[in-house]
Amino acid sequence: MQNPMRAVSRVFWVQVLAVAVAIAVSAGCSPFAQEKRQYSSSILEYLFPDDTKPSFDQPPPPLEPPLNIGIAFVPESGQIAFDEKLKMDLIQTLAAEFEQHDFVGSLELIPTSHLKPKGGFTNLDQISALYGINVIVLLDYDQVQHTAEGVSTYLYWTWVGSYTVKGEKNDTNTMIDSAMLDIASRKKILHLHGTSHIKGTSTLVNLSEQLRNDSVEGFKDAGADLMEKFRNELPTLQKKIGEAH
């Protein structure tokens, strides 16, 4: 005859498991959630869709001020992680940094939708004619969210090589990369990137919401880091352009 206490214990643990699964499902997650979520766009993929090796050994020709500059995020090749407003807010902040310098003639804030996925320099020539720009600042992003125990290494491919970060449970690592290009010569003027690392503390119940909040915060923090680097580098660029004329 079955022990009544053992039967009650079995029922109790079955109920506990059922409640745990229900909580996980209601949170949009499961106890066996994926270990990594990654969202990205790529300047290199946009400019060189046929996997040709970029050649930027030579600097651009002397830049003739005033420069008519466009700023845009390149299109995503997969899932879109950040809405256009968030990206345009960062573009507007970057434009405000450029506006403080005499070498800037005009600034055009270009929506991502106006660039073709993997459009390359042919697309940039079209953008140049449409907006009347001769220089463009392209932006992309790479964000990895780690949602499992352990440590993993992630490799971001950037304009000049690779950037390595380590991720632990509920970490959000974000990088926003930028390349300022002279469209006519196909040469790079400036390359900068901003990074962010957020250590999450969410429980299973609010994991999905917390990851989304960390995703947006990571984007904003990486953007702020990028802006600081532009703030430091643009005076040097101003001096170089001035010395060339």
Check pLDDT > 80 for residue 39. yes
pLDDT tens-digit map of 121-132? 999 999 999 999
pLDDT tens-digit map of 165-176? 666 677 889 999
**Mean pLDDT for the stretch of residues 219-236:** 97
Token pair recorded at residue 57: 């050994």
Residue 190, H or E segment: strand 187-199
Residue 81 DSSP symbol: -
**Mean pLDDT for the stretch of residues 146-159:** 64
User: Domain 34-243 falls in which CATH fold?
Assistant: Double Stranded RNA Binding Domain (3.30.160)
- What secondary structure does DSSP assign to 136-177, as a single string? EEEEEEEEEEE-SSS-EEEEEEETTEEEEEEE-TTEEEEEEE
pTM of the full structure: 0.79
For the chain, domain boundaries: 1-32, 34-243
**Mean pLDDT for the stretch of residues 32-39:** 68
**Mean pLDDT for the stretch of residues 43-57:** 80
**Mean pLDDT for the stretch of residues 128-137:** 97
Average pLDDT over the chain, rounded to whole?
Answer: 81
State how far the Cα of 178 lies from the Cα of 190, in Å rounded to an integer. 8
